A and B are shown apart, each in its own frame.
Chain A
């Protein structure tokens, strides 16, 4: 079989994403920490002057940052499992029970991320005002929900494939 370049590329991309995920955590901690220790300066830097009118917006942004922090371990769970799956493909043995479990976990993580995205969108919608609109790249994503369904289906495909391979290996 021709050696594919997709796997080394996927491996590198996943490693970069893991590093970016840690950077994302550092930024969120800095924002959340700054919003608690130096509220005026942090929110001015974010373009939201702290006043009686922006109290709800400030609290909403803190909640969104906290939810953002919650997504970091979820992202890490998903990315680490994908790295492990790439390793099994590289080793030439991807149809193993571990990969079926990994795929299933990834599906649940994706579902969790979609739900957190909806919560973030709801908070943004609730605290956004005409004077201080909050534009968030979150909310209902048909592609995201399709990915959840597809990953659950693929997890089942992996589980069945693993059983079929075990049967084949035990066939004399």
Chain B
């Protein structure tokens, strides 16, 4: 996936743990871990809104388009 989720960096900057964020936005820790590790296939707008509200950030701060990452994954798969 060429979309990189930068949740880890944002949490580090805000000095917040994943468990704390999960509690504050009402999403299970398991689901948030899926998002953090880049294994999610889609993100609901409601989830994005909740994360941006709690972390005081923009969606662009959380997500990044990195085509070279996709190329790396393809090379690994081959």
Contact = CB atoms under 8 A, between A and B. Distances in A.
Contacts of A171: 40-44
A169 B39 CA distance: 11
Nearest to B34: A172
- A interface, how many residues as a size bin? under 10
Interface residues of B, number: 12
Interface string B34-53: 11000111111001000000
Interface of B: 27, 31-32, 34-35, 39-44, 47
A142 interface: no
Nearest to A171: B42
11 contacts: A167-B42, A169-B41, A170-B42, A171-B40, A171-B44, A172-B27, A172-B31, A172-B32, A172-B34, A172-B40, A172-B47
Contacts of B32: 172
The winner among A167, A169, A171, A172 for most chain B CB atoms within 10 A is: A172
Given A170-B34, A171-B43, 12 more contacts: A167-B42, A169-B41, A170-B40, A170-B41, A171-B41, A171-B42, A171-B44, A172-B27, A172-B31, A172-B32, A172-B44, A172-B47
A166 B42 CA distance: 11
Contacts of A170: 34, 39-42
Contact of B35 (A167, A169, A172): A172
A67 B44 CA distance: 56
Contacts of A166: 41
A166 B39 CA distance: 12
Nearest to B48: A172
**Residue among A167, A169, A170 with the most chain B CB within 10 A?**
A170
Nearest to A169: B41
Contacts of B41: 166-167, 169-171
